[in-house]
Chain A
Amino acid sequence: MLEWLSDNRAVVAAIIILLLVGSFFASIIYGIKQTRLREKDQVFGDPERTVGGWFWAVCGVSTLLLVWFYFSWGSARAFFPQAANELCQVAKLHEAVSPVTSSLAIDSRYSKSKTLLVRNSRQLAELRDRLPVNAFSPADAALVTGVMQNTQQLISIMATPDFVGAATIAELEKIKAGYAAITNELAKPRQGWSPDPAALAQPSWGISEPEIPLLPISARGAMYDALAVEAASLSEDFLKIRNLSPAAKDLISETKATIAALKKSQSPNESDPAIVKDRADYLKSVDRIFKRIDDGTIFPAVVMADMQLAVEAMLDRAEKAKGGLRYVEALFFPGGDIVKSRTQCTEQGPGRWLPKPTDVVATFFGLANPDVENGGGYKGTTLLWWKWLPISDVVSILIPDSLIDLLPGDYGQLNDKGEFEANYKDWMLGLAQGDVYLGVVPMLDGHIWDSLFRVLVAMFFGVLLGVPLGIYMGVSRFYKSFFDPMIELYRPVPPLAWAPLILTIFGIQDDGKIFLLFMVAFAIMVISARTGASGAQLSKIRASHSLGASDRQILRYVILPNALPEIMTGIRISIGVCWGTLVAAEMLAGTTGVGFIENVARTVSDYELIWVTILIMGSLGLAFDLMMRWVISQLIPWRGKG
């Protein structure tokens, strides 16, 4: 079943896309009809207008999924699975010609020659201006200046068309002819381009890693593939060409000799190490610039202009030869394109970082598979499952070992035969250390549960301690003024700023994270309970006094229930904030949890997994909030009606 789905991903995606388009339009039509029906009884601004409207939710979700499909190139994968392969072949041609284009003014403002010439001339001028006078003897100074003049002259020779050697011209012409041949082929492709049979056996786009099949699977692709090979060899030839005329060669050997002589001679102030270093550094700079020019990669602009025209004509023709592929690329590969690098073709842009919805669902089910031995779960832990938890584990957490030390009597002793005689105290210690088998209970397990557990425990303590303190702060001047500075001082600090400290103090296991979340929940609960308590209507308090209630009773039976709406809102807010903080804390440290999954996925650029974790967090947050809304409506039906 799964395999069939995987092999027919394209068809499945196509069906889903068509269904989405269908539900998008259907919900719009239904929604418009509904709007017309209601127009008579409701006017703009009437809050009743927002009631219901599930069809717009359908429309919104369909829109979201369609946009998602589109930008994840899901529609391209579904309807034009061949396009990626063909674009890959075009990308190969671009990659092959890239060494040449990068030395010409294509895709950049200046050609490489112009950049080199401008930069080196400027650096030479700067060097000349700061010749260290006391580091060179007058004779040496003249020599250094000469080297720099020669270098400048060399640049001029290379940049002058008349000085370019005949051999160089011939080689450049040969390459230009090669490009012309490719251009010709692209313009009028000869019949008989056909894909290799081996290529057709490749898995189609999106099935395997790397995702895009490399070998051409269409006639057009085969042509681009073959031409890319030709272009690559032309590029190789181009990189070998040097613009070194006889005049230049003479100048180079003369300058080299001067530099060697300069390196051997000494400074007049040889005793001062600072001056010696100055001299050496200066000579090195001069030598470096000379060597850069010596490489012979500067060409006159006129000579290269023809080359540029030839390459541009070829690239232009390559674009035109794509034919219908051009429209597919523009319409179905939004926001990016396919590039060839080294051994594979990859998607650039959303095609890379935005997996299609169906892939995300597939990854989710892979994660959700509880069979950890056979590839389910993540890093040895299920996503959300259950396990048998030994009761002794829980007992060992609840009973501290030191408590056993306080029991009367001594631990067992060694007897004369050298055997250990355990007594009841040893047995109790075993119990406290979790070594006594007490049976097992089923317990939830997995990354999601770990995250949930942390949030729930932190919330439990946050509510347990925060609400009473908040209530007291709401009714007592001492409590309010005593605790207010502490809480208000730590509360505004983002939990993530606390995280490094808390994780150091409490460890990176559950304790640290739970404490961090507790801090967040506690502050929010204190503030909301305080607001609720101090917001109690005076007449209600007075009424309860008149009815004979004691202070304690008023606190319990009037102020607490009166603060309940605020407390529930506080719980709702702090669950949300805790959830956000937790994920961030798990990304900092730990080996389980949803945030941990994302953290690992991030380091290996597993975008599908990243999206899955994001969606898990989002839907759990949503579920929490819906649950709290429901609880609030059940628990405080009087809310807003008092």
Chain B
Amino acid sequence: MADLTCKDLCMTFVNQQTGGKVKALKDINFTLKKGELLSVLGPSGCGKTTLLNMIAGFITPTGGQINVGERLIEGPGADRGMVFQQGALFEWLTVAKNVDFGLRMQGISERETRDQVEKWLATVGLQGFADTPTYQLSGGMQQRVALARCLINDPDVILMDEPLGALDALTREKMQSLVLELWKKTGKTIIIITHSVEEALLLGERLFVMAPRPGRIHKEYQLPFAEWGLKRSLRDMKLEPEFTSVREEILTMIWNMEEEIMGGA
């Protein structure tokens, strides 16, 4: 495991039909230490997902570079696990086979992975679901499978693209606790992209608020809430004046950005 470094990261998309250029990201610089929990927040179109896709290696930046430790990222790999908004599970496989997919692709037999599967399913709270077909699971359970599938590969960095966005409020809160728990337990570096300010505050040791046109890091926070969340009820925390004041500040910030976009448009 190692630190994640982004240096002078730029991404310019070229429209195939018109030839017009859109600067999705411009000069992103940050270093994420091993074991840090980062949440990224911003209005739509600010390049959050682009940033994540570049770290995952799905798209190649037009400028700058990303390193995990000393290694330059040139494509997707098992060292950077990804969790998507809609699970992206393989619905033709059972829960267990989804979870050990990565291991099986490395040539490890199903029998050998069985114990690990059981362990990780227990960790995400899905004991006894190993042989259930995934299409029978609820949205929250599918997200738990996605987490287990990602964790079993023992990646250096876990990237989450709005992982809880499609869940109902109650399930979402439970999953937030789970993410914090897993973070503590595994000590992984985690980047979470979210639309929800509250979620970003709860699940972010560090928090980037990004701004659009061109996409950039507008402001960075260091927050204590993730640490608190490991010991306290999340619901209580949300009522703390410290929490609410930061939330209001960020909400105003994003509100103003959106206003600017709308006004500009």
Question: Which A positions have Cβ atoms within 8 angstroms of B?
Answer: 537, 539-540, 542-550, 553, 557-558, 561-562, 564, 636-638, 641-642
Task: Tell me if A547 and B105 are in contact (CB < 8 A).
Answer: yes
Q: Which residues of A contact B91 (CB under 8 A)?
A: 638, 641-642
Contacts of B93 in A (CB 8 A): 561
Cross-chain contact B105 with A549 (CB below 8 angstroms): yes
Given contacts A539-B84, A638-B91, 5 further A-B contacts (CB under 8 A): A542-B56, A544-B101, A547-B105, A548-B77, A553-B105
Residue numbers in A under 8 Å from B146 (CB-CB): 543
List residues of chain A with CB within 8 A of the CB of B86: 539
| Least Cβ–Cβ distance between B164 and chain A, in angstroms | 15
Q: Using CB atoms, name the residue of chain B closest to A641.
A: B135
B135, A642: Cβ atoms under 8 Å?
yes
The answer to whether B58 touches A540 (Cβ under 8 A) is no
Q: Which residues of B sit under 8 angstroms from A547, Cβ to Cβ? A: 78, 81, 101-102, 105, 149-150, 153
Q: Does B1 contact A (CB under 8 A)?
A: no
- The 8 A CB mask of B108-135 against A (1 = contact, 0 = none) is 0000000000000000000000000111
A638→B88 contact, CB < 8 A: no
CA distance A641 to B134 in the complex (A): 10
Whether the Cβ atoms of B105 and A548 lie closer than 8 Å is yes
Q: Is the interface of A mostly helix, strand, loop or mixed?
A: helix
B90 interface residue, CB < 8 Å from A? yes
B90 touches A558 (CB 8 A): yes
Give 16 A-B contacts (CB < 8 Å), ordered by A residue. A540-B89, A542-B88, A543-B88, A544-B90, A545-B77, A546-B82, A546-B155, A547-B101, A547-B102, A547-B150, A547-B153, A557-B105, A561-B92, A564-B92, A638-B133, A642-B135
The residues of B that contact A558 with a CB separation of less than 8 Å are: 90
Tell me if B106 counts as interface (CB < 8 A to partner A): yes
> What is the chain A residue whose CB lies nearest that of B81?
A546
CB contacts under 8 Å to A, within B209-224, are: none
Cross-chain contact of A546 among B77, B90, B106, B135 (Cβ < 8 A): B77
Chain B: interface residue total (CB-CB under 8 A): 32
Contacts of B144 in A (CB 8 A): none
B206 within 8 A of A: no
Residue pair B106, A543 in contact (C-beta under 8 Å): no
**Docked CA distance A564–B85 (Å):** 24
Docked Cα-Cα span, A553 to B105, in Å, equals: 7
Residues in A with CB closer than 8 Å to B77 are 545-546, 548
- In the complex, what's the smallest C-beta–C-beta distance from A529 to chain B, in angstroms? 16
Residue in B91, B102, B135, B150 with the greatest tally of chain A CB atoms within 10 Å:
B91
Q: Which residue of B lies closest to A541 (CB)?
A: B88
Separation in Å of the B117 CB from the closest CB of chain A? 14
Closest B residue by C-beta to A537: B88
- Is A636 a contact partner of B92 (Cβ separation < 8 A)? yes
Residues of chain B within 8 A (CB-CB) of A642 are: 91, 135
Task: Return chain B residues, CB-CB under 8 Å to A557.
Answer: 90, 101, 105
A41 to chain B, nearest CB (A): 25
Q: Chain A: which residue is nearest B106 at the CB level?
A: A548
A539 and B87 alpha carbons, distance in the complex (Å): 9
Q: In this complex, what residue of A is CB-closest to B80?
A: A546
Cβ of B64 < 8 Å from any Cβ of A? no
Specify the chain A residue showing the minimal Cβ separation from B82.
A546
Q: Which residue of A lies closest to B152 (CB)?
A: A547
A638-B135 contact in complex given A540-B88, A546-B56, A548-B106, C-beta closer than 8 Å: yes
Shortest Cβ distance from A635 into chain B, in angstroms? Answer: 9
B154 to chain A, nearest CB (A): 11
From A539, A545, A562, B76 is in contact (CB under 8 Å) with: A545
B106 touches A638 (CB 8 A): no
Contact A638 B105, beta carbon cutoff 8 Å:
no
Residue of B nearest to A636 (CB): B92
- A544 to B86: give the CA distance in the assembly, Å: 14
- B210, chain A: closest CB distance, angstroms: 21
Complex interface: chain A residues within 8 A of B75 (CB):
545
Does A542 lie within 8 Å of B76, measured CB to CB? yes
Least CB distance from A156 to B in Å reads 88
What's the Cα separation between A548 and B78 when bound, in Å? 4
